[in-house]
Chain A
Amino acid sequence: MGPFDPSAAAAAAAAAAAAASSSSSSSCSGGSAPKRHHHHHHHHPPPDLDGLLAGAGYKVRSSELHHVAQRLERLETALVNSAAHIPHLASDAVHYNPSDLASWVDSMLSELPSSSFSSPCLPSGFPDPYSPAAAALGGGWVDHPSCSPHPQPHQNVVVPQQPQPQQQQQLTVVTALEEDSGIQLVHALMTCAESVQRGDASLAGSLVEEMRALLTRVDTSRGIGKVAGYFIDALGRRLLGLGSAPASAFENEVLYHHFYEACPYLKFAHFTANQAILEAFDGHDCVHVIDFNLMHGLQWPALIQALALRPRGPPLLRLTGIGPPSPDGRDVLREIGLRLAELARSVNVRFAFRGVAASRLEDVKPWMLQVSPKEAVAVNSIMQLHRLLGSDPPRDPPIGSVLPWIRSLNPKIMTVAEQEANHNRPGFLDRFTEALYYYSTLFDSLEAACPVQPDKALAEMYLQREICNIVGCEGAARVERHEPLDRWRARLGRAGFRPLHLGSNAFKQASMLLTLFSTEGYSVEENEGCLTLCWHSRPLIAASAWQAAPTVVNSPAGVINHDDNNNQLSCSPVPMLSIETDIPSSIQ
């Protein structure tokens, strides 16, 4: 596809936009799916939520405020009466989703012996919202001396609609601010991207030349110079119709491995997913992990070892690894499987491996996975789901067929890790700008946190591939269609999944993992039951867990009802995963 000709470029862009919006229009209906922002903080809260508390990061229904207040009071009383409760609540209990205040306080209360707080019959001291007196007051909070002379805002204040200008130019602010040449470069990049969006290929082309000249006067070994270089190359490739450079599966694996070593993003994803899978498998004797992208199986030794250490003994573990076919007659998947089997044998875990070779995830059919109704299934997708969001119109993006078959497997858990960015906006300039910001942050973290070569250089090439794809490709070829958590929540919700919240224990362990990287700058944040890995407070990777929402339909697997009403992972003690940075299997 070559957007060399301006009208063809416009047509291609329009087609891509139409395809993207036809898949995203369904995702925008319902819920509070954002169009531009990807954090909930500035959304219009649903009308029954207290708007002011929403601005503080808490989702509490106005009608529940009294209930929550009562609970808070009881908890405070209980803690005052017996300070011994505090260590239990602080260290032993697992906390989930603090934004949902009502369930947070209720779960803490349920952790305490019921004798420790006062009988519910005592008046709380708050006016009863259902009493006639309260009704006379309009059901709102009691009016007291400090009533504002200004119009008293309602508890469920709605943030006024912000009119968004049509051509709102998004701002990219990178650490380039401090360097004049940096600002010039970013400015030129934005102008070039904008001309690409308009279909002005000749202007775009001359800007690429200008920027290449600019680059010679700038330090390209680090910072904005380096990142800009990649984006300029990607723009150049786009204008020549080259898209991404073709890459062999072997090359991909090598780059992936170095990216894995150079920075904590993949390790965080693997580690968090494994913790969640371990908890979900608790109590099951036959378990089956389906890995959507096996690569070298780097994620699995740690899980195998953790299962080996289970107090009641390891389960029978089946691992189905999906990966691209090997071109040269080797069966790479099988080789990985053998190595993992060797490891499993060495720790006495009964293990069976199956490789499913497919060049695209959408080519996989559920029957290939041979899921048995007796086993607990974990579906593991590390940076794979976004690849299913693109298509060549008029075909629909494959996500629409893949999510249903995942759900039909009735997995005990689906672990998902995705880049926390919106690189799937229909408008090229928006996508470009967001990617520039995102990858600048990512490259910044590599520079600061990974001085080791060749890991760093190859990790950068790994990321460069992604940049090239986001900037240079369209349609089905553009596979790096990253979307932020809120969009995934909406999409997975519609597909019949509900969240399994990751709690304070997972948070703590992920934080501990980060301390192995001695650089300041990485942090873990909790986002309504999901965990994100941040560099200097910018979320970059989001890890989440899901289960099939209850249904009464007969599924092909023969399961009728999902018996698990609890959307939290089990609290029973599970062995801590050991963090191995030296993976036993040898990598060529």
Chain B
Amino acid sequence: MAGDNEVNANESKRVVPLNTWVLISNFRLAYNLLRRPDGTFNRDLAEFLDRKVPANTIPVDGVLSFDHVVDRPTGLLNRVYLPVPHDASQWGFEELEKPLSTTEAVPVILFFHGGSFSHSSANSAIYDTFCRRLVGLCKGAVVSVNYRRSPEHRYPCANDDGWAALKWVKSRPWLMSGKDSKVHVYLAGDSSGGNIAHHVAVRAAEAEVEILGNILLHPLFGGQERTESEKRLDGKYFVKIEERDWYWRAYLPEGEDRDHPACNPFGPRGRSLEGLKFPKSLIVVAGLDILQDWQIAYVEGLKRNGQEVKLLYLKQATIGFYFLPNNEHFYCLMEEIKNFVKPNC
């Protein structure tokens, strides 16, 4: 039950800093204006309201970025973030002809931004900031995929775009590293981006394309059933079930329900990953996220299929805790990610 709105607002205020509360509540407000009951989406207003930043080839805090069109017909764009060596004056354009390193493995994170499949872009300010942080943290490259969004483009468009982006990344000489001269790719994503990362990883495993790890930040999974966490937390910490339902209806093929494997990969219509060379996974669950039961079920599903998975459960975290570096969960997460992408000796 949603409960009294003021009570809910008071609850969420207690667990996040003020500026985080303002940020996420602002998104909620904007998003409420964009979803229409008939399933259509006010894309113009969405693009108007979204705060975007251009790429910047001038390094800022040791990170530069540029956009690259991967696929002209779909307009698929990747935003590439690269670390700039300390002695920036020595760094020139010719660096892009060389691999990231010839001696050690440098991680390349293929990142899928969140937004419930409908919101945000690779050049959204919050995600540009986040990706830049990842570069600094992992001392590697980040490639953020500007995948096509619903409801204009339903499943499987986002996954197809992810796959195209993966192939592109894997084939860039200037993203290669290590004595084995290959691109050391990790997949990462928050919310819907986490969902996409999973499906791209499955496809990669089937095609024997190597992914070194998956990092899913409160990934978007669901199902027809109403789980205990959905009932208990509905409307309490920035998220309502009816909104989640809307986004699935907008993303899944028309007429499908939430047990579609895109939404519920280990549900009644899910597929087995047993025997598949699926990457190790770091699954981050926010303890105040209504979807945590689905995320934990996902973790259990991976385990059942013999896959390596680590669950990072942040009990008092809400969704979006990683946008602003003003809480302990943020720092905890960053530490885990850093260790996750460290090359094995």
Contact residues of B between 41 and 91, Cβ < 8 Å to A: 42, 44-45, 47-49, 51-58, 60-61, 64, 66-69, 72-75, 77, 79, 88-89, 91
Interface residues of A in 29-57 (CB under 8 A from B): 36-37, 39, 41-42, 50, 52-53, 55-57
Taking CB atoms, residues of chain A closer than 8 Å to B55 are 537-538
- 8 A Cβ contacts from A517-563 to B: 520-521, 523-526, 536-539
B272 within 8 A of A: no
CA distance A524 to B323 in the complex (A): 25
Closest partner residue, chain A, to B128 (CB atom): A41
Q: Which of A69-77, A241-249, A259-267, A357-365 contacts B (4 or more CB under 8 A)?
A: A69-77
CA of A41 to CA of B51, assembled, Å: 10
Please tell me if the beta carbons of A146 and B25 are within 8 angstroms of each other in the complex.
no
Binds A, one of B26-34, B159-167, B302-310: B26-34
Tell me whether B54 and A539 are in contact (CB under 8 A): yes
**Cβ of B232 to closest chain A Cβ, rounded Å:** 19
Known: A168-B88, A171-B64. A525 touches B18 (CB 8 A): no
Q: Is the CB of A507 within 8 A of B48?
A: yes
Interface: A150 (CB within 8 A)? yes
Q: Kindly list chain A residues whose C-beta atoms are within 8 Å of the C-beta of B128.
A: 41
CB within 8 Å for A187 and B94 given contacts A146-B316, A153-B325, A175-B69: yes
Give B14-38 interface residues, CB cut-off 8 Å to A: 14-19, 21-23, 25-26, 28-30, 32-34, 36
Can you list, as one digit per residue, whether each of A166-197 has a CB less than 8 Å from chain B (1) or not (0)? 11111111010100000100110010000000
**Contact between A504 and B45, CB atoms less than 8 A apart:** yes
Contacts A72-B26, A153-B326, A171-B58: A98 and B9 contacting too (C-beta < 8 A)? no
In the complex the two chains form, what is the Cα distance from A68 to B121 in whole Å? 25
The CA-CA distance from A58 to B89 in the complex, in Å, is 32
A171 touches B54 (CB 8 A): no
Given contacts A169-B92, A536-B75, A537-B52, contact A162 B60 (CB under 8 A): yes
Q: Which residues of A contact B26 (CB under 8 A)?
A: 58, 72, 101, 105
| Interface-facing stretch out of B179-187, B258-266, B327-335 | B327-335
Inter-chain contact B15/A144, CB cutoff 8 Å: yes
CB distance from B302 to the nearest CB of A (A): 28
Quick check: is B324 within 8 A (CB to CB) of the other chain? yes
A437 within 8 A of B: yes
Q: B123 near A: Cβ within 8 Å?
A: yes
How far is it, in angstroms, between the C-alpha of A37 and the C-alpha of B28 when the chains are bound? Answer: 31
A57, B52: Cβ atoms closer than 8 Å: yes
Contacts of A539 in B (CB 8 A): 54
Q: Is A403 an interface residue (CB 8 A)?
A: no
Is A99 interfacial (CB-CB < 8 Å)?
yes
Is the C-beta of A353 less than 8 angstroms from some C-beta in chain B?
A: no
Pair B58/A41 contact, Cβ less than 8 Å: no
Task: Tell whether B1 is near chain A: CB-to-CB under 8 Å.
Answer: no
Report the number of A-B residue pairs with Cβ-Cβ less than 8 Å: 217
Flag if B22 contacts A53 (CB, 8 Å).
yes
Contact of A520 with B74 in the complex, beta carbons under 8 Å: yes
Given contacts A37-B60, A141-B18, contact A173 B32 (CB under 8 A): no
Q: How far is the CB of A571 from chain B (nearest CB, A)?
A: 15
CA distance A457 to B45 in the complex (A): 36
| Minimum distance in angstroms from B273 CB to a CB of chain A | 35
Using C-beta atoms within 8 Å of the partner chain, give the interface range for chain B.
35 or more
Assess whether B13 is interfacial by the CB under 8 Å rule.
Answer: yes
Contact (Cβ within 8 A) B51 A170: no
A144/B14 in contact, CB under 8 A: yes
**Could you say which residues of chain A place their CB within 8 Å of the CB of B93?**
169, 171-173, 183, 186-187, 190
Is the pair A126, B75 in contact by a Cβ cutoff of 8 Å? no
A506 to chain B, nearest CB (A): 9
Judged by a CB distance under 8 angstroms, whether B97 is at the interface is: yes
Most buried by A among B25, B58, B323: B58
A contact residues, total (Cβ < 8 Å): 82
Residue B103 at the chain A interface, CB threshold 8 Å:
no
Interface: B6 (CB within 8 A): yes
Partner of A76, one of B29, B36, B331: B29
Chain A residues lying within 8 Å of B101, measured Cβ to Cβ, are none
Are A101 and B32 neighbours in the complex by a CB distance under 8 Å?
Answer: no
CA–CA, A411 and B208, complex, Å: 66
B10 on interface, CB distance cutoff 8 Å: yes
Q: Is B312 an interface residue when CB atoms closer than 8 A count as contact?
A: no
Q: B125 within 8 Å of A by Cβ?
A: yes
> What is the bound-complex CA distance between A80 and B235, given in angstroms?
11
Q: Is B22 touching A72 in the complex (CB atoms < 8 A)? A: yes
- Interchain CA distance A148-B324 in the complex, whole Å: 12
B227 at the interface (CB under 8 A from A): no
- Scan residues 435-479 of chain A and give those whose CB is less than 8 A from a CB of chain B: 437, 448
Does A389 belong to the interface (CB within 8 Å)? Answer: no
* Residues on the A chain within 8 Å of B18, using CB: 65-66, 69, 126, 141, 155
Cβ–Cβ < 8 Å partners of A166 in chain B? 89
Most central of B26, B121, B126, B330 by chain A CB within 10 Å: B26
Q: In the bound complex, how far is the Cα of B259 from the Cα of A532, in angstroms?
A: 42
Interface centre among B29, B128, B327 (most CB of A within 10 A): B29
Chain B contacts for A50, CB-based, 8 A? 19
Q: Which residues of A contact B69 (CB under 8 A)?
A: 175, 521, 536
A369: CB under 8 A from chain B? no
Q: CA separation between A79 and B35, bound complex, in Å?
A: 13
Task: Chain B residues near A36: list those with CB within 8 A.
Answer: 58
- Give the residues from 311 to 329 in chain B that come closer than 8 angstroms, CB to CB, to chain A: 316-317, 323-329
User: Which A-chain residue is minimally distant from B30 (CB atoms)?
Assistant: A98
10 contacts between A and B (CB under 8 A): A58-B51, A69-B18, A160-B61, A169-B93, A171-B64, A173-B57, A173-B96, A537-B121, A537-B146, A538-B55
Known: A56-B126, A90-B36, A152-B326. 4 other contacts (CB 8 A): A66-B18, A77-B5, A98-B49, A190-B93
Nearest 10 interchain pairs by C-beta: A57-B51, A57-B125, A520-B75, A165-B89, A141-B18, A171-B57, A90-B33, A41-B53, A148-B328, A173-B66
